[in-house]
Chains A and B, each alone.
Chain A
Amino acid sequence: AQRVTQPEKLLSVFKGAPVELKCNYSYSGSPELFWYVQYSRQRLQLLLRHISRESIKGFTADLNKGETSFHLKKPFAQEEDSAMYYCALSGQGYGQNFVFGPGTRLSVLP
């Protein structure tokens, strides 16, 4: 079965500090991993996906199949990064649907 875990419910860092939001998954095949973000009073939206290998708003995430992890990192946090972050997994093949983790609330303090 597909499962996504995010061990931290809340993560607080100071502005300019590095930030890492942890995500681990379980899936027997080759998954596609995503990070979604929900800013205050805004809709849930895609931040990045592992197959794109992009850096979005300074965030990067590397899929580590050995550790079954997809941690989200940013070297210097900004106050506008404060939001709810969800890690999500999609399996391959028809009918494989998205599974979201429980989410981590990131609070960047001034």
Chain B
Amino acid sequence: ETGVTQTPRHLVMGMTNKKSLKCEQHLGHNAMYWYKQSAKKPLELMFVYNFKEQTENNSVPSRFSPECPNSSHLFLHLHTLQPEDSALYLCASSQDAGNTGELFFGEGSRLTVL
């Protein structure tokens, strides 16, 4: 599959659960991003990885823990979330975070926290 792929597409979890979101890109890009999309703040940058190194943590609570094992894969580990964390989580990639290039987005993982 080409482009940016996110799994699962939908996730429902309780506040005490631990789950992970996965993102994979087949574009040969070196930068990957997590965004949160909700009604309150449409597109909110969470984390940026460039060449597997985290270059941006946009004051995200520690209950969200990113992991980037290689340039093609990005995870978002979730634990003890709150209902207000329910949102669409978008992964994106670009050639690298230093160039002003185009972002390619996945379809998102819709998270519901009960």
Beta-carbon nearest neighbor of A99 in chain B: B45
Q: In the complex, which residue of chain B has the Cβ closest to the Cβ of A102?
A: B42
CB distance from B105 to the nearest CB of A (A): 4
Give the contact-size bracket for chain A. 20 to 34
A86 to B56, CA, bound (A): 22
Is the beta-carbon distance between B45 and A98 smaller than 8 angstroms?
Answer: yes
**Cβ-defined contact, A86 with B105, below 8 A:** no
List B4-44 residues whose CB lies under 8 Å from chain A.
4, 33, 41-43
B100 touches A103 (CB 8 A): no
Q: Secondary structure of the B side of the interface?
A: loop
**Cβ distance B82 to chain A, nearest Cβ, rounded Å:** 23
Q: Are B98 and A94 in contact (CB under 8 A)?
A: yes
**How far, in Å, is B52 (CB) from chain A's closest CB?**
15
B45, closest chain A residue (CB): A97
Known: A94-B97, A95-B97, A95-B98. A86 touches B42 (CB 8 A): yes
In the complex, A42 Cα to B45 Cα: how many Å? Answer: 20
Would A100 and B98 be within 8 Å (CB), given that A44-B90, A45-B105 are in contact? no
Q: B45-67, CB under 8 A of A: which get 1 and which 0?
A: 10010000001100000000000
| B45 and A43 contact, CB distance less than 8 A | no
Interface centre among B41, B43, B48 (most CB of A within 10 A): B43
* Complex interface: chain A residues within 8 A of B41 (CB): 102
B-side residues, CB < 8 A to A, are 4, 33, 41-43, 45, 48, 55-56, 90, 97-98, 100, 102-103, 105-108
- Subset of 10 A-B contacts with CB under 8 Å: A32-B100, A36-B103, A44-B90, A86-B42, A90-B100, A93-B98, A95-B55, A97-B33, A98-B33, A103-B43
